[in-house]
Amino acid sequence: MTPARTEMEPVRRWYAVYCKHRHERAAAERLASRGFPIYLPEYHTRVKWGARQREVKKNLMPGYLFVQAKMDVGNYVRVLQTPSVVKLVGNAWPRLSWIPEEQMESMRLVLESREKFEEVAYWRVGDQIEVVAGPLAGLRGLYAGEGNHKGSVIVSIDLLQRSVSVAVNAADLRLVSALRAAS
| DSSP string across 121-182 | ----TT-EEEE-SSTTTT-EEEEEEEETTEEEEEEEEGGGTEEEEEEEEGGGEEEEE-----
Q: Which CATH architecture has domain 128-177?
A: Roll (2.30)
Is pLDDT at 5 greater than 70 in this prediction?
no
Residue 144 pLDDT level (bands cut at 50, 70, 90): confident
Q: Where are the domains of the chain?
A: 12-113, 128-177
Indicate the DSSP class of residue 101: H
Tell me what percent of the residues of the chain surpass a pLDDT of 90.
45
pLDDT at residue number 181 = 45
Region label for 24, one of left (φ > 0), alpha (ψ between -120 and 50) or beta (otherwise): alpha
- 54 Cβ contact partners less than 8 Å away, ≥ 6 residues apart: 46, 47
pLDDT at residue number 1 = 47
pLDDT at residue number 148 = 52
Tell me what percent of the residues of the chain surpass a pLDDT of 70.
86
Residue range 28-51: average pLDDT? Answer: 94
Is pLDDT at 34 greater than 70 in this prediction?
yes
- Do residues 179 and 127 touch, judged by C-beta distance below 8 A? yes
Residue range 168-177: average pLDDT? Answer: 84
| Strand, helix or coil for residue 110 | helix
3-state secondary structure 10-25: CCEEEEEEEECCCCHH
Q: How does pLDDT run across 41-91, given as a tens digit for each residue?
A: 999 888 888 899 999 999 989 999 999 999 999 999 999 999 999 999 999
Residue range 114-140: average pLDDT? Answer: 81
CATH topology of domain 12-113: Alpha-Beta Plaits (3.30.70)
pLDDT at residue number 83 = 98
- Do residues 7 and 72 touch, judged by C-beta distance below 8 A? no
Q: Which segment of 5-9, 37-41, 117-121 scores lowest on mean pLDDT?
A: 5-9
Residue among 56, 54, 55, 59 at smallest CA distance from 26: 59
pLDDT at residue number 121 = 65
pTM listed for this prediction: 0.71
| Strand, helix or coil for residue 58 | strand
pLDDT at residue number 126 = 82
Indicate the DSSP class of residue 100: -
